[in-house]
Chain A
């Protein structure tokens, strides 16, 4: 028997596997495919104060070992998420969920986090200061230590649940931003969001994505994510949720060796709808193959 249980800020997960925000909706599409209660948790679709349609289409582009998306935080807004999506989600998922929140001002982040903090099913609030697909917001808060800290402080002041700040890799020094969030009271750090990327269609000679650029994700960014998780986990004392290109149980273990306490799976869900189920089922066997009896023993193991 192996132990796959991990603990994030007092919240114990059956396993470290968490579908990443934006790749799992509010859960029920996947609940039609398998019992999503096997998941450690899941991070629901990035939610903002107002409803958002998002960016014009095309929003998706193929890349080598990955994809670009420019969805732009399409969501029904915090009111409908609380009144409609969460009751639906509650029927198919019985564990604490990670509430992913985005905003266009510090006040908006605080408003949404204060609202979602009161929802019983929310276990962790994941504050997205790293969406590359919206202007004047999202990522702009995640590219400066001061702005990220300001959002963290504002959210912490109005919430009781653990607050994890989700960081952007599109920065020169992610460690300084992670430390600023920790100093401002963050209970944990999630990283990485997507890398800024672009594709151009040779036939039309125009960008494939209507918004020109978007967030690059998928297997191709895994080594970058592992490197950044390693750097951040080394620099902060709070737990780190690692993500970026994870698509196998081996990737989960590698991410944990880099310093992640839990691991999110993103783009893989979109091309392999059973990705998380397969990873969870493979995990004990892969742990045994590498002589791992307890996942907690390997967190940050590569640093030792």
Chain B
């Protein structure tokens, strides 16, 4: 974990409620896809944890949804504004277990971490496929960016306005020969995926956090391997250890 000051380079809407923010600063603490950052915001006590979509030596990209006052304030910040951020939080996904044809499944604001994960898997010479789930076409984002990686991209929308009508699980049921799965999204989706997938996998969880770095025990959960902190021992848990 590292605490540092970042400068906003881009903060723009992708949809009505989802924005893309690019932050310039020290990215050396980030060690795996699926980790998150924790952002201090003026006028708010707790930091706001947001998953990392992508990063390079000098910038971090996050895609975040306006869900409350904190993220609403974040959405108003102009380029050039600086932010105090903790980076390199959480365990992230372990790409070593993927096999050759892993399936990546993102639902809503669970989509962003799949992007860097897909890039890392490609860099390792693997052949990932991605399934992106949204409620409607209007709420969909980052589909073209995933397609630009040159990987198969399947889209499901609950109302059928884009791609397959239904849920990501409906697409997963049609997939064959995948070697592993990685997912992030709302908990009911994670549970459903745990049931329909035929391989092992890693699932990223969300919880209200106090600190984000393992000190307060605010986000604890019980697993088959004992008590874990979502922020420090997670947010990624393995399918086999989860107690639903």
Query: Which residues of chain A have a CB within 8 Å of any CB of chain B?
Result: 22-25, 29-30, 32-33, 45, 53-54, 57-67, 69, 71, 74, 208, 218-219, 267, 269-271, 273-274
Contact = CB atoms under 8 A, between A and B. Distances in A.
Given A33-B1, A270-B210, A271-B40, A62 B218 contact: no
B65 interface: no
Interface string B19-56: 00000000000000000000010001111000000000
A71 B216 CA distance: 8
Interface residues of B, number: 26
B227 interface: yes
A1 to B, nearest CB: 30
27 contacts: A22-B217, A24-B215, A25-B215, A30-B215, A53-B220, A53-B222, A57-B219, A57-B221, A58-B207, A59-B210, A59-B218, A60-B216, A60-B218, A60-B219, A64-B45, A69-B210, A71-B218, A74-B217, A269-B215, A270-B46, A270-B216, A271-B45, A271-B46, A271-B211, A273-B3, A273-B86, A273-B213
A267 B1 CA distance: 19
Contact of A23 (B1, B40, B86, B215): B215
A33 B232 CA distance: 14
Given A29-B232, A33-B1, A62 B46 contact: yes
B227 A59 contact: no
A29 B209 CA distance: 16
A54 B45 contact: no
Given A33-B1, A65-B45, A74-B220, A273 B210 contact: no
B173 interface: no
B46 to A, nearest CB: 5
Nearest to A30: B215
Contacts of A29: 213-215, 232
Contacts of A53: 220, 222, 227
Contacts of A208: 208
Contact of B3 (A69, A218, A269, A274): A274
A218 B45 CA distance: 8
Given A25-B214, A25-B215, A57-B220, A271 B208 contact: no
Interface string B47-84: 10000000000000000000000100000000000000
Nearest to B86: A273
Main secondary structure of the interface of B (DSSP, over half): loop
Nearest to B219: A57
Nearest to A218: B45
Given A29-B232, A67-B45, A218-B45, A59 B213 contact: no
A219 B218 CA distance: 19
Contact of A60 (B46, B70, B215, B221): B46
B220 A69 contact: no
A296 to B, nearest CB: 31
A62 B67 CA distance: 14
A25 to B, nearest CB: 5
A59 B231 CA distance: 13
B152 to A, nearest CB: 36
A68 to B, nearest CB: 10
Nearest to A268: B45
A162 to B, nearest CB: 26
B114 to A, nearest CB: 25
B217 A54 contact: yes
Nearest to A210: B208
A60 B222 CA distance: 17
Instruction: Give the 7 A-B residue pairs with the shortest CB-CB distance, closest first.
Output: A270-B211, A60-B218, A58-B208, A74-B217, A60-B208, A60-B210, A29-B214
Contacts of A23: 211, 215-216
Interface in B133-175: none
A25 B70 CA distance: 27
Residue from the set B1, B3, B47, B208 with the largest chain A CB neighbour count within 10 Å:
B208
Nearest to A274: B3
B208 A61 contact: yes
A267 to B, nearest CB: 8
B118 to A, nearest CB: 30
A269 B218 CA distance: 14
Interface string B194-233: 0000000000000111110111111111100001000010
